[in-house]
Chains A and B, each alone.
Chain A
Amino acid sequence: MHLALFIIFGGLCVAGALNLLLQRHPINSALSLIVVMSSLAVLYLLLGAEFLAAAQVIVYSGAIMVLFTFVIMLLNAGTEERTHGSKMAYVAGVPGAAILVSLLTFVFLSHRGDFASVRVGDYLATTGDLSRVLFRDLLLPFEVTSILIIIAILGAVALARKEH
C-alpha cells in the first residue's frame, strides 16, 4: 500500500518536474511546479513527517506558488520562444550536472548504512516530537534562521523603496 503510493507520487513528482522544463507557457510551468510540491508533500507524509507535509502544502503550494502565478498573470507573460540555448549551458551546464549527479550518487551509496532508520509507512513523527526538537534541542539555530529571514525581508523592502 505504502509502496504503491510512493511509486505513484514519486512518478507524479518526476513527471511534473519534466513537464515544468518542457512546457513553453510560463503558467503551465508554474502549475507543474505546484504538482511537484504537492506530491513532495505526500512523500513527506509517507516518511511519517505529517507536520512537514501540511506545511509544504500550506506554504509552498498555497502561498509561494500563488505569488508566482500572480506575477505571471500580472505581467501577462506570453509563450516563450524556442531557442537553441546559450553556449554556456552546453559548455558548463551539462558536465556540471553530470558531476553533481555522480557526486550525490556516490555520497548516498557510500552512506547507505546511515539511512537504515528511514522507513516508508509505519513510522510517524508527530507535531509534538517535531516542536520538541525544534524549540528545545535546536532553539538557537532556529532563532538565528528567523533573524536571517527578517534581514532578507528588510533588504527586499530597502531595495524596493530606493527610488523615493
Chain B
Amino acid sequence: METGFLTFLLVSLVKIVLVVVITLMSVAYTVLLERKLVGRIQNRWGPSRVGPFGLLQPLVDGAKLFLKEDLNPEAVYKPLYILAPMIALSCALLSVSVVPFGADIRWHGIDLFQISDINIGLLVILGITSVGVYGIALSGWASNNKYSLLGALRASAQVVSYELALGLSLVGVVLRSGSLRLRDIVDIQTPHGFLSWNFFGGFQFVAFFIYLMAAFAETNRAPFDLPEAESELTSGYHTEYSSMKFAMFFMAEYANMITVGCVATLLFFGGWTSPFGSLFSHVLAGPVFAAIFPVFWFVAKVFCFLFLYIWVRGTLPRFRYDQLMGFGWKFLVPVAIANIVVTSFWIGLRLPMQ
C-alpha cells in the first residue's frame, strides 16, 4: 500500500491507544469521585487511606480485581459467559472514537483532538450504544441464574424502551444544526458563548431533560438501576461474575456514563467552546492556548455532568419497574415528539425556504 495509508494507520493507532488509556483512567477516577461524593452526601469520608486524599485508591482497586480468583461457575454457558463482558466493555469504549475533544486543530494534516471525524457521528454513537445492550442481556442469560436473567431482561427492556425517547430527544438538535456530524453540531453553538448553546439559545432545554432522564435509564444508573437492584436481585446481571470479568462490566458502566456526558456536552452545551464566547480570547492568546482551552472547557463540562450523575445517585430512591416503563412510554416519548413538532415549526417559520 502507499505511504499515505500507512501513516494514516499509524496515526490512528497512536490516537486510539492514547484515547483508550485516557478514558480508562477517567473511568477509574470517576469511580473514586463517586465514592467520595456519595460519602460526603451520606455524611462520611469515603476512601481516604491510600495515598493523599485516597487518590491512589483506583489503582489499588484495579490491582485487587486483577489478582482475584477468576471463578467460572459450572452451569454457565461458557462461550457467551466469556463473550458478554467483552461486548459490554468494547461497545462502551468504541463510541468515544467519534467524540471530538477539542477545536478542529490540525498539525501536519492530523486531526489532534478526534480519532475519526465522520458525517454520521451522532448515529454511530446511537448505534454502538444500542448494540451494547447485548453485553448485559447475554451475561444474564449465560449465567444460568434466575437473578441474573431477571436483571438482564429488565435491562434489555429498559434500554430498548428508553432508546426511543433518547433518539427522539436528539432530533430537535439535529434539526437546528442540519447535520449529524458532531463538529457541525458544535459549530452552530459557537458564536455567542453560552447564549447560542442549544440548551439556552436553541430552546432545546425540554430535549435536554428528556435526554438526561433517558440517559440515566440507558446507562442503568440510579434512579433507574433496576437491572442491578440489590434488594431484589442480589446484584442483577453480574451476580455470577468475579475478578476482571466483573471489572469489565463495572468499567463499561462508567465508560458509558462518560460517553453520555460527552454527548450531552456536545449536543446541548456547546462542546469545547467557551461559555463566554470570544470575550476573553485575547487574554491568553497564542496557538498553544487556542489548543488547550477548548479541551479544558470540554473536560469541565463533562465533569459537571458526571457530578450531576453522582449527585442524583446519592439523592433519589429507585423507581418501581412499572413506574419506569410508564414514565418512559407515557411521558418521555410524547413530550419528545411534541418537542420535535414545536422545533420544526419554529425553524420552519424563522428560516425562509431556501
A residues neighboring B (CB under 8 Å): 1, 27, 31, 34, 38, 50-51, 53-55, 57-58, 61-63, 66-67, 69-70, 73-74, 124, 126-127
Contact = CB atoms under 8 A, between A and B. Distances in A.
A66 B160 contact: yes
Interface string B141-169: 10000000100110011011001000100
B120 A62 contact: no
B131 interface: yes
Contacts of A70: 137, 153, 156-157, 160
B73 interface: no
Lowest 6 A-B CB distances belong to which pairs?
A62-B130, A54-B123, A57-B127, A58-B127, A73-B141, A54-B120
Contacts of B163: 62-63
Given A50-B120, A51-B120, A73-B137, A66 B127 contact: no
Main secondary structure of the interface of A (DSSP, over half): helix
Nearest to A59: B130
B299 interface: no
Contacts, number: 71
By CB atoms of chain A within 10 A, which of B123, B128, B140, B149 has the most? B123
Contacts of B120: 50-51, 53-54, 127
Given A27-B80, A54-B124, A61-B131, A66 B119 contact: no
A1 B2 CA distance: 11
Nearest to B83: A31
Given A54-B123, A54-B124, A63 B137 contact: no
Contacts of B118: 50
Contact of A54 (B5, B127, B133, B160): B127
Nearest to B141: A73
B134 interface: yes
